[in-house]
């Protein structure tokens, strides 16, 4: 399964084309709507008040409620694009945003309104595509769960990478602020509200678990490692700036005797007693949960004034990005990370065949 | 430029085919040999005593000392493959290695000797390919430097991500143990020798700088982000388990006002005064140095006895991986990371055209 | 530039996503509409009376009338999908159609109405995509012309492959029945009407010229030959069953001394005095017009009764495909072949960069 | 399975890397050698006396006589590259050859000796790759046979496209001049010898049959049609200039009632009583033999003097390509066409999985 995103934040519509969808998949529109709702803004005081219905219209690839196996296109009309005055900031590159790079890349022909094609809004069709991938994977016994691992330096409770508690993960997944430890979650929310009150934003991290994935997927070509594949998808999410598998960056200070995951017999064949390698050896799944953690940078849109440059004049300027921005996009990014994982795993040869 | 690696550690030869090499490139065989030497084992007491000449024989794509623009194949004959007795460990999956996953992936037909296709030895043709890519990029004013950022929890001196000192990086590159701060490097070497003495190994991290890269490269398709591209290549290096751009995982605990890189005017157009985003906004280069850090796990081959499973019988067993292994592959991985970066950047549309 | 078609004949909409469109291209909607009109049915007594407006709605990738360089999605709503009774023929595989193969490929989940995804109707978004490609190529001085080369065994006047008359080709292109020799065109039309009167259909061939294409495009990888690229695109057109470059199948009975195109000096460098190789040597353009001819099979939908099989019961049956079918799709296929050529040429590295 | 060819005619070696080879395939080196021998020159008075042993050395991907599933590289050392004097013809573009186009494409850095990378000699590793693909397909019950369909306008006996005689095809395959009708084959050989005596060459055509291929392969993406896939591979063979499926170009003058292949019940499901569509409807296999015919142009190397241009001076010149050239490459191209078919079919998703 492969996907192609299209659309601009304030253009007529955004959407996605999915190729390689297996035929006969039941399009559970209730599940899809619930996935879209997890990402949609406006769910709580913590998120942007922008009202995005994010109702997906399926244009192709589905017949009588089931996938045909032909390219599946879903679009979301952009209804909340009230005309606003961009005149004041048209040429001011917002720090941390893609305004300047899009301007260079598109040679000045970019749709600059609201970030255009490079808006976080494009994660909506990504979640739709991920929902279809999840439906396909579920039929193969593969499930994907992500949770907030940290916000503003406050960490959630650790999970057992070798034997994560699926029930807890599922419970977290059903929450608007998916953490394992609600007390720590409360502290994170406080930190978010504090940052907002100060005209600022905070970042965090998300940990993702792929359960039920069989051994032997990925490779043998080096750039087809499961890590490479997941990384390609995960780094297509705006704001994701780091990715680690298993114990991730902690592996830098471990010794081999600590980091190696010893093999132990199990009914299903060799398993490992720890999972510092995140379910992947030599770029190939080993049958343990595939686990990875991504770092989400703080929302670049902040009310505080920042230095910038006027792209037309080249002169120094100041900018304050007022308006309806999320002080922390980590909660809304959780389903996006799951979607990227689902899309990556669905692309692995042999998973959906 | 794209590359395809082939070969097994103890097969006839390992090698690589490079496609998309620009014609007319001067094949500086001295430079290539020096790059190969940086990765080769045996350079010091810290590395494996295995004698690998790693002399590359170019089979195609070069004529009268210059690239033709046709597929370029380079091979390295495996000369140091003395017959050894694998009988004792044939079926024992080494923890942290790809023995088990390769066994499943290849359905039992893998060349198991020395890790076969999944051996770190395959990084030799990767370095060769990277050397060709570096030669091509050098002609476009792009240079790539990596250095050891940490070993066993001991960190090298920090670098200025927005204005790294190219002279220092070049000096480090010329050393067998490339760090910015020699004192800290000495401490790292002590930690490596201590681990070896204890039959163990240590991990670390490597920071890579791409200098001279213009703004506007990458995207606009989401899975063509510069982060996605570099990640795909970097995660094809065995033992790399994490990757962060710019400030990387530190971004999780920063605020937007700290993490955003303010734009400032410069002669060459808008620049940023900090570089927490690692030279990339919205998946597109912004003209600042592209900076990323990778985590290299500790060498999985250790003399200490570990738990494992006999893949044939499914029974528990014990294994001690004796022999000529590196207690820390971080130093030798430095040119491999540079190679992956060079190959990734060379693949970006518009760089070599 | 690459394209992905989606949609089913009687689904909500059909469309295409174009990636790699250069930014700043003027979206000449008048030109695009005229291209769509060339393919649309109902233009004359010779074509299907089905009323397809084929108005393209551009959802993304265009801002203020110019392409952004981001993925460009255009859709055509399916308005003329009046509910009809497929009950009688649902399980009867129409000979020459994809009913049976789609049924196997999609495991019974295909949208069978009117051919679904495999309908010739999908050539409408292909023509839209081709129109965008033509606009991009025009800016590089490359123009594409196709004409009916034969219908029902009646051939149009031959063209000089080495020096085709662009004015004549342009005049033909403006006509609903694009031939060089109007007298022969009249005979072709008679043959079409005769076949229709007899409840039958006829096939034909189309010759396509790419003018203004520079030397040195294509290759050097063998499956990146210009012939391979054009072939991949041309054979994605339903009903195209053969393709020949330059003198095509005539080369089988020529001698080398006749077939070789002798080089002659010209102001622009070496040219050839004949063009039997269709502007391509060794898979690379030689600067002469790229010329190829495709064979379009007779419309498989015919009123005459034919043998078939009921796909559910496996029993023999008889079918007569009544209704609004074209007795000859060659005229309407002319802009589709041009579109395929434009899309293929646009995909060649170096053409649009 | 995908392949990448590399090498130059007079460089150190030519070869191929095959990716996606299924593990556990028995590398029947006797079969592979016999396939190489079918393509090799020197087999008869009709072919070039150049002595090419074409012994393949397998460098990777094979262990203990079986494929590992890892990239498989095979090389052929160029031993018969005796130093010759190219000084006289270095700058003369041979008509019908890639000398001029390679010169432009490679910006003057091409290895010009003997056609370099664009030499027909590169079909040797293609045949090797095809032999591996044939071994893989044979395990799935798929067999591929090609035969000379015509030479110099003399046609072989027609075959029944819907029910080709496998025994006859197998017998032809074992012959140095594979035709169904030996009498016509004799006439073809006379025509070849006559052309050679006159310092000239002749072309011809080859018909290829893929037997045992199941229904439902290919698509549904338009540029993934089976015709597109086969075409991409077949047009990567030097000298192939036309390709038709089933009845091919004859379809242009047939009526629908003649061209449509009526479905008839069979034990294995719907079959067709004729096979004018060459086993493909809507780009998807229908379970009938996949049949296609390619046109091979006459050998461009001829002793007769031809007009050309000196690429350095731009001046008109005359050239006579003396030496060891085949007056007709059709017989030697038969196994190459089979190889291209095998490689194309092996690339179809679902065939080897």
Region of poorest pLDDT, from B84-98, B150-164, C196-210? B84-98
Q: What is the mean pLDDT of chain A?
A: 94
What share of residues in chain A are helix, strand, coil (percent, to 5)?
30, 20, 50
Chains A & C: contacts with CB separation below 8 Å: 148
Of B100, B219, B223, the CB nearest to A286: B100
Closest CA relative to residue C250, chosen from C329, C155, C318: C155
Residues of B in contact with D103 (CB under 8 A): none
Verify whether the Cβ–Cβ distance B220 to C70 is below 8 Å. Answer: yes
pLDDT of residue A41: 81
Of A69, A70, A221, the CB nearest to D71: A221
Verify whether the Cβ–Cβ distance C220 to D118 is below 8 Å. Answer: yes
Cis peptide before D220 (omega within 30 of 0): yes
pLDDT of residue C43: 54
Residue B85: how many CB atoms within 10 A of its CB?
7
Closest CA relative to residue D305, chosen from D319, D325, D323: D319
How close B62 comes to chain D (CA, Å)? 8
- Are C276 and C259 in contact by the 8 Å Cβ rule? The answer is yes
Residues of C in contact with B69 (CB under 8 A): 220
CA separation for the pair A91, A108 (Å, rounded): 10
CA separation for the pair A116, C68 (Å, rounded): 10
Kindly tell me the burial class for residue A296, based on how many C-beta atoms sit within 10 Å of its own C-beta (0-12, 13-18, 19 or more). buried
Of C19, C221, C353, the CB nearest to B19: C221
What is the mean predicted confidence (pLDDT) over B165-193? Answer: 97
Closest CA relative to residue A94, chosen from A117, A79, A112: A112
Q: Is the pLDDT of residue A205 over 90?
A: yes
Task: Give per-residue pLDDT as tens, A132-181.
Answer: 999 999 999 999 999 999 999 999 999 999 999 999 999 999 999 999 99
Over its C-alpha atoms, chain B yields an Rg (Å, rounded) of: 21
Closest CA relative to residue C220, chosen from A46, B36, D119: D119
pLDDT of residue D192: 97
- Are B127 and B5 in contact by the 8 Å Cβ rule? The answer is no
Closest CA relative to residue C40, chosen from C239, C331, C321: C331
Strands (E), chain A: 2-7, 13-19, 57-58, 62-63, 66-67, 72-77, 143-151, 154-155, 204-211, 240-245, 263-264, 271-272, 280-281, 284-285, 290-296, 306-309, 316-319
How close D100 comes to chain B (CA, Å)? 14
Q: Is the pLDDT of residue C47 over 60?
A: no
Residues of D in contact with C187 (CB under 8 A): none
Confidence of residue D288 (pLDDT cuts 50, 70, 90): very high
Confidence of residue B42 (pLDDT cuts 50, 70, 90): low
Return the higher-pLDDT residue of C350 and C7. Answer: C7
Q: Is the pLDDT of residue A324 over 80?
A: no
pLDDT of residue B88: 77
- To the question of pTM greater than 0.80 for the whole model, the response is yes
pLDDT of residue C213: 98
CA separation for the pair B116, B244 (Å, rounded): 29
Residues of A in contact with D349 (CB under 8 A): 353
Q: What residue in A sits closest to C105 (Cα-Cα)?
A: A69
The residues with which A66 forms a beta bridge, in sequence order, are A26, A63
How close A71 comes to chain D (CA, Å)? 7
pLDDT of residue B260: 97
CA separation for the pair A52, A82 (Å, rounded): 12
Task: Give per-residue pLDDT as tens, D171-227.
Answer: 999 999 999 999 999 999 999 999 999 999 999 999 999 999 999 999 898 889 999
Of B216, B222, B257, the CB nearest to A122: B222
What is the mean predicted confidence (pLDDT) over A9-25? Answer: 97
Residues of B in contact with A93 (CB under 8 A): 263, 270
Share of chain A above pLDDT 90, in %: 89
For every residue of C11-67, DSSP letters joined together read SSEEEEEEESPPTT-B--HHHHHHHHHHHSTTSSTTS---------EE-SSEETTEE
Q: Is the pLDDT of residue B53 over 80?
A: no
Verify whether the Cβ–Cβ distance C221 to B71 is below 8 Å. Answer: yes
How close D139 comes to chain B (CA, Å)? 16
Residues of A in contact with C70 (CB under 8 A): 6, 8, 106, 110-111, 116-117
Q: Is the pLDDT of residue D48 over 70?
A: no
Closest CA relative to residue C314, chosen from C113, C105, C93: C93
pLDDT of residue C45: 53
Task: Give per-residue pLDDT as tens, B210-236.
Answer: 999 999 999 898 889 999 999 999 999
Verify whether the Cβ–Cβ distance C316 to D215 is below 8 Å. Answer: no
Verify whether the Cβ–Cβ distance D116 to B17 is below 8 Å. Answer: no
pLDDT of residue C146: 98
pLDDT of residue D226: 98
- Are B80 and B52 in contact by the 8 Å Cβ rule? The answer is yes
How close D124 comes to chain A (CA, Å)? 25
pLDDT of residue D79: 84
Q: Is the pLDDT of residue B47 over 90?
A: no
- Are B85 and A264 in contact by the 8 Å Cβ rule? The answer is no
Residue B74: how many CB atoms within 10 A of its CB?
24
Return the higher-pLDDT residue of D148 and D40. Answer: D148
State the chains in contact with B (3 or more Cβ–Cβ pairs under 8 Å). A, C, D
Of B6, B23, B106, the CB nearest to D59: B6
Task: Give per-residue pLDDT as tens, A218-254.
Answer: 989 888 999 999 999 999 999 999 999 999 999 999 9
Task: Give per-residue pLDDT as tens, A69-125.
Answer: 999 999 999 986 666 667 778 999 999 999 999 999 999 999 999 999 999 999 999
Unique residue bearing structure tokens 């003018």: C211
Residues of A in contact with D70 (CB under 8 A): 220
What is the mean predicted confidence (pLDDT) over B246-257? Answer: 98
Q: Is B262 left (phi over 0), alpha (psi -120 to 50) or beta?
A: beta
Residues of A in contact with B201 (CB under 8 A): 255-257
pLDDT of residue C25: 98
Q: What residue in A sits closest to B292 (Cα-Cα)?
A: A242
What is the mean predicted confidence (pLDDT) over D252-258? Answer: 98
Q: What is the mean pLDDT of chain C?
A: 94
pLDDT of residue B83: 61
How close D69 comes to chain B (CA, Å)? 6
Share of chain C above pLDDT 90, in %: 88
Residue D31: how many CB atoms within 10 A of its CB?
15
State the chains in contact with D (3 or more Cβ–Cβ pairs under 8 Å). A, B, C
pLDDT of residue C46: 60
Q: What residue in B sits closest to C2 (Cα-Cα)?
A: B221
**Contacting residues for B203 by C-beta, under 8 A, at least 6 apart:** A251, A252, A253, A254, A255, A256, A259, B151, B152, B295, B296, B297, B298, B328, B330
The residues of B whose Cβ lies within 8 A of any Cβ of C are: 19, 69-71, 220-221, 349-350, 353
The residues with which B74 forms a beta bridge, in sequence order, are B16, B58
3-class secondary-structure state, position C285: strand
- Pick from A71, A220, A284, A348 the residue to mutate for testing the D interface (most D CBs within 10 Å): A220
Structure tokens at B157: 């001196």
How close D8 comes to chain A (CA, Å)? 25
The residues of A whose Cβ lies within 8 A of any Cβ of D are: 19, 69-71, 220-221, 349-350, 353
**Contacting residues for A289 by C-beta, under 8 A, at least 6 apart:** A161, A162, A164, A209, A210, A211, A213, A275, A279
Residues of B in contact with A91 (CB under 8 A): none
pLDDT of residue B205: 98
Q: Is the pLDDT of residue B324 over 90?
A: no
- Are A149 and A179 in contact by the 8 Å Cβ rule? The answer is no
- Pick from D150, D198, D260 the residue to mutate for testing the C interface (most C CBs within 10 Å): D260
Angle (nearest 5°) at CA C260 between C257 and C264: 110
- Pick from B56, B57, B63, B116 the residue to mutate for testing the D interface (most D CBs within 10 Å): B63
Verify whether the Cβ–Cβ distance B69 to C220 is below 8 Å. Answer: yes
Region of poorest pLDDT, from B42-51, C115-124, D235-244? B42-51
Confidence of residue D83 (pLDDT cuts 50, 70, 90): low
Residues of A in contact with C13 (CB under 8 A): 59-60, 73
Q: C-alpha distances in angstroms, B80 versus B12, B40, B99, B120, C206?
A: 10, 13, 21, 15, 61
Q: Is the pLDDT of residue D325 over 60?
A: yes
Residues of C in contact with D315 (CB under 8 A): 265
Q: What residue in B sits closest to A117 (Cα-Cα)?
A: B220
State the chains in contact with A (3 or more Cβ–Cβ pairs under 8 Å). B, C, D
pLDDT of residue A236: 96
Closest CA relative to residue B247, chosen from B320, B189, B162, B333: B162
What is the mean predicted confidence (pLDDT) over A24-52? Answer: 80
pLDDT of residue C41: 81
Cis peptide before D301 (omega within 30 of 0): no
Return the higher-pLDDT residue of B81 and C311. Answer: C311
Q: C-alpha distances in angstroms, B186 versus A61, A213, B150, B204?
A: 61, 43, 12, 14
CA separation for the pair D222, D164 (Å, rounded): 29
- Are B206 and B333 in contact by the 8 Å Cβ rule? The answer is yes
Sheet holding A143-151, edge to edge: A154-155, A143-151, A204-211, A290-296, A240-245, B240-245, B290-296, B204-211, B143-151, B154-155
Task: Give per-residue pLDDT as tens, B9-32.
Answer: 999 999 999 999 999 999 999 999
How close D79 comes to chain C (CA, Å)? 23
Chains A & B: contacts with CB separation below 8 Å: 358
Of C19, C220, C350, the CB nearest to B70: C220
What is the mean predicted confidence (pLDDT) over A265-285? Answer: 97
Name the DSSP class of C109.
-
Of D69, D220, D349, the CB nearest to A220: D69
- Are D274 and D262 in contact by the 8 Å Cβ rule? The answer is yes
Of A223, A236, A244, the CB nearest to B225: A236
Verify whether the Cβ–Cβ distance D60 to B4 is below 8 Å. Answer: no
């Amino acid at each position: 399964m492969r996907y192609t995103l299209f659309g601009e934040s304030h253009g007529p519509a955004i959407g996605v084309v999915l190729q390689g969808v297996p035929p006969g998949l039941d399009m559970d529109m209730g599940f899809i709507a619930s996935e879209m709702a997890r990402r949609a803004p406006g769910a709580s005081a913590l998120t942007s008040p922008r009202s995005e219905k994010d109702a997906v219209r399926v244009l192709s690839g589905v017949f009588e409620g089931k996938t045909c196996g032909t390219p599946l296109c879903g679009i979301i009309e952009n209804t909340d694009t009230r005309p606003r005055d961009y005149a004041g900031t048209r040429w001011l590159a917002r720090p941390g945003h893609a305004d300047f790079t899009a301007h260079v890349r598109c040679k000045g022909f970019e749709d600059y309104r609201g970030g255009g094609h490079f808006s976080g809004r494009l994660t909506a069709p990504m979640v739709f595509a991920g929902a279809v991938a999840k439906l396909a994977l579920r039929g193969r016994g593969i499930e994907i769960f992500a949770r907030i691992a940290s916000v503003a330096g406050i960490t959630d409770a650790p999970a057992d990478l070798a034997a994560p508690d699926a029930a807890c993960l599922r419970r977290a997944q059903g929450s608007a602020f998916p953490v394992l430890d609600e007390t720590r979650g409360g502290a994170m929310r406080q930190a978010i509200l504090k940052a907002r009150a100060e005209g600022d934003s905070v970042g965090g991290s998300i940990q993702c678990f792929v359960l039920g994935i069989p051994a032997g997927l990925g490779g043998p070509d080096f750039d087809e490692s499961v890590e490479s594949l997941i990384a390609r998808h995960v780094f297509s999410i705006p704001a994701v700036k780091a990715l680690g598998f298993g114990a991730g960056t902690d592996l830098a200070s471990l010794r081999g005797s600590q980091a190696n995951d010893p093999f132990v017999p199990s009914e299903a064949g060799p398993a490992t007693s720890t999972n510092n390698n995140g379910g992947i050896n030599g770029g190939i799944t080993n049958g343990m949960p595939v686990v990875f953690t991504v770092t989400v940078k703080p929302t670049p849109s902040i009310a505080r004034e920042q230095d910038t440059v006027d792209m037309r004049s080249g002169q120094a300027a100041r900018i304050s990005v007022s308006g309806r921005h999320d002080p922390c996009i980590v909660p809304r990014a959780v389903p996006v990370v799951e979607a990227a994982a689902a899309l990556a795993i669905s692309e692995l040869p042999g998973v959906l065949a």
